[in-house]
Structure 1
Protein backbone atom coordinates (compact mmCIF):
# COMPACT_ATOMS: atom_id res chain seq x y z
CA UNK A 1 0.00 0.00 0.00
CA UNK A 2 2.80 2.31 -0.96
CA UNK A 3 1.24 5.63 -1.97
CA UNK A 4 -2.27 5.01 -0.66
CA UNK A 5 -3.49 6.27 2.69
CA UNK A 6 -3.51 3.62 5.40
CA UNK A 7 -6.85 4.77 6.80
CA UNK A 8 -9.07 2.99 4.28
CA UNK A 9 -11.96 1.02 5.74
CA UNK A 10 -11.83 -1.71 3.09
CA UNK A 11 -8.99 -3.26 1.13
CA UNK A 12 -8.95 -5.16 -2.14
CA UNK A 13 -7.48 -8.65 -2.24
CA UNK A 14 -4.28 -7.18 -3.69
CA UNK A 15 -4.00 -4.57 -0.95
CA UNK A 16 -4.63 -7.15 1.78
CA UNK A 17 -2.03 -9.44 0.19
CA UNK A 18 0.48 -6.60 0.23
CA UNK A 19 -0.26 -5.85 3.89
CA UNK A 20 0.22 -9.51 4.81
CA UNK A 21 3.17 -9.99 2.45
CA UNK A 22 1.53 -12.99 0.78
CA UNK A 23 0.10 -13.64 -2.68
CA UNK A 24 -3.45 -12.68 -3.68
CA UNK A 25 -4.08 -16.42 -4.16
CA UNK A 26 -3.27 -16.98 -0.48
CA UNK A 27 -5.65 -14.19 0.56
CA UNK A 28 -8.42 -15.78 -1.55
CA UNK A 29 -7.76 -19.11 0.18
CA UNK A 30 -7.95 -17.45 3.61
CA UNK A 31 -11.24 -15.82 2.64
CA UNK A 32 -12.72 -19.08 1.37
CA UNK A 33 -11.78 -20.97 4.55
CA UNK A 34 -13.11 -18.18 6.75
CA UNK A 35 -9.74 -17.58 8.41
CA UNK A 36 -9.86 -14.01 7.08
CA UNK A 37 -13.17 -12.16 7.12
CA UNK A 38 -14.31 -10.39 4.00
CA UNK A 39 -17.41 -9.43 2.06
CA UNK A 40 -18.38 -9.75 -1.57
CA UNK A 41 -19.80 -6.61 -3.16
CA UNK A 42 -21.27 -5.73 -6.51
CA UNK A 43 -22.65 -7.84 -9.29
CA UNK A 44 -19.30 -9.50 -9.93
CA UNK A 45 -18.84 -10.46 -6.28
CA UNK A 46 -15.56 -8.64 -5.79
CA UNK A 47 -14.01 -9.21 -2.38
CA UNK A 48 -13.38 -6.42 0.11
CA UNK A 49 -11.58 -7.01 3.38
CA UNK A 50 -11.98 -4.66 6.31
CA UNK A 51 -8.72 -3.10 7.45
CA UNK A 52 -9.73 -4.05 10.99
CA UNK A 53 -10.26 -7.64 9.86
CA UNK A 54 -6.68 -7.76 8.56
CA UNK A 55 -5.47 -6.46 11.94
CA UNK A 56 -7.63 -9.02 13.77
CA UNK A 57 -6.20 -11.79 11.56
CA UNK A 58 -2.66 -10.69 12.44
CA UNK A 59 -3.47 -10.50 16.16
CA UNK A 60 -5.00 -13.99 16.05
CA UNK A 61 -1.93 -15.27 14.19
CA UNK A 62 0.33 -13.94 16.94
CA UNK A 63 -1.89 -15.56 19.59
CA UNK A 64 -1.86 -18.95 17.85
CA UNK A 65 1.89 -18.76 17.31
CA UNK A 66 2.47 -17.97 20.99
CA UNK A 67 0.32 -20.99 21.92
CA UNK A 68 2.34 -23.24 19.59
CA UNK A 69 5.62 -21.95 21.01
CA UNK A 70 4.42 -22.50 24.58
CA UNK A 71 3.38 -26.06 23.77
CA UNK A 72 6.64 -26.85 21.95
CA UNK A 73 4.94 -27.35 18.58
CA UNK A 74 7.06 -24.77 16.73
CA UNK A 75 10.15 -26.08 14.99
CA UNK A 76 12.74 -24.31 12.88
CA UNK A 77 11.72 -25.09 9.31
CA UNK A 78 14.51 -23.12 7.66
CA UNK A 79 12.17 -20.24 6.83
CA UNK A 80 13.79 -17.15 5.33
CA UNK A 81 15.53 -15.19 8.06
CA UNK A 82 15.47 -18.05 10.57
CA UNK A 83 18.77 -18.75 12.24
CA UNK A 84 20.17 -22.17 11.58
CA UNK A 85 21.66 -24.14 14.49
Structure 2
Protein backbone atom coordinates (compact mmCIF):
# COMPACT_ATOMS: atom_id res chain seq x y z
CA UNK A 1 0.00 0.00 0.00
CA UNK A 2 1.14 3.55 -0.62
CA UNK A 3 1.75 5.67 2.47
CA UNK A 4 -1.19 7.82 1.40
CA UNK A 5 -3.40 4.70 1.39
CA UNK A 6 -2.20 3.83 4.89
CA UNK A 7 -2.90 7.39 6.02
CA UNK A 8 -6.44 7.17 4.65
CA UNK A 9 -6.96 3.80 6.35
CA UNK A 10 -5.79 5.15 9.72
CA UNK A 11 -7.41 8.57 9.20
CA UNK A 12 -4.12 10.41 9.83
CA UNK A 13 -1.91 12.62 7.67
CA UNK A 14 0.58 11.31 5.13
CA UNK A 15 3.39 12.92 7.13
CA UNK A 16 2.32 11.07 10.30
CA UNK A 17 2.57 7.75 8.45
CA UNK A 18 5.95 8.73 7.01
CA UNK A 19 7.25 9.47 10.51
CA UNK A 20 5.85 6.16 11.83
CA UNK A 21 7.74 4.35 9.05
CA UNK A 22 10.97 6.31 9.55
CA UNK A 23 10.88 5.66 13.32
CA UNK A 24 10.44 1.93 12.66
CA UNK A 25 7.02 1.88 14.32
CA UNK A 26 5.32 0.68 11.12
CA UNK A 27 7.26 -1.79 8.94
CA UNK A 28 7.63 -0.72 5.32
CA UNK A 29 9.88 -1.20 2.32
CA UNK A 30 11.39 1.30 -0.05
CA UNK A 31 11.16 0.27 -3.71
CA UNK A 32 11.87 1.60 -7.16
CA UNK A 33 14.36 4.10 -8.47
CA UNK A 34 12.64 6.94 -6.67
CA UNK A 35 12.57 5.03 -3.40
CA UNK A 36 8.83 5.03 -2.86
CA UNK A 37 7.60 3.55 0.41
CA UNK A 38 5.17 0.65 0.52
CA UNK A 39 3.45 -1.02 3.47
CA UNK A 40 2.21 -4.57 3.16
CA UNK A 41 -1.47 -4.87 4.18
CA UNK A 42 -0.63 -7.72 6.58
CA UNK A 43 1.94 -5.48 8.33
CA UNK A 44 -0.64 -2.72 8.65
CA UNK A 45 -3.15 -5.18 10.13
CA UNK A 46 -0.51 -6.36 12.62
CA UNK A 47 0.24 -2.74 13.53
CA UNK A 48 -3.46 -2.04 14.13
CA UNK A 49 -3.83 -5.16 16.30
CA UNK A 50 -0.74 -4.13 18.28
CA UNK A 51 -2.23 -0.68 18.87
CA UNK A 52 -5.52 -2.23 20.05
CA UNK A 53 -3.56 -4.36 22.55
CA UNK A 54 -1.50 -1.38 23.74
CA UNK A 55 -4.63 0.72 24.16
CA UNK A 56 -6.44 -2.03 26.08
CA UNK A 57 -3.45 -2.34 28.41
CA UNK A 58 -3.31 1.42 28.92
CA UNK A 59 -7.05 1.60 29.66
CA UNK A 60 -6.70 -1.23 32.18
CA UNK A 61 -3.83 0.56 33.92
CA UNK A 62 -5.56 3.97 33.82
CA UNK A 63 -9.18 3.47 34.87
CA UNK A 64 -11.59 6.36 34.74
CA UNK A 65 -12.26 8.05 38.02
CA UNK A 66 -15.84 8.73 39.05
CA UNK A 67 -15.29 12.39 38.18
CA UNK A 68 -14.38 11.39 34.60
CA UNK A 69 -17.51 9.27 34.18
CA UNK A 70 -19.79 12.08 35.41
CA UNK A 71 -18.86 14.13 32.32
CA UNK A 72 -20.76 11.72 30.07
TM range, smaller chain: 0.7 to 0.9
Per the TM alignment, residue 44 of structure 1 is displaced from its structure 2 partner at its CA by 1.1
Secondary structure of 2:37's match? Answer: strand
Post-superposition shift, 1:52? 0.7
CA RMSD of aligned residues (A): 1.9
What pairs with 1:28-43 in structure 2 (closer than 5 Å)? 28-43=18-33
Cα 1:54–1:70 shift into 2, 3 Å? same
Aligned to 2:60: 70
Q: Per the alignment, in what secondary structure is the counterpart of residue 28 of structure 1?
A: helix
Match of 2:38 in 1: 48
Aligned residues: 67
> Greater CA radius of gyration, 1 or 2?
2
* Structure 1 residue 41 displacement after superposition: 0.1
Partner of 2:47: 57
- Look up the match of 1:20: 10
TM-score by length of 2: 0.85
Query: Structure 1 unaligned runs (5+)?
Result: 1-10, 75-82
Q: How many angstroms does 1:73 deviate by?
A: 7.1
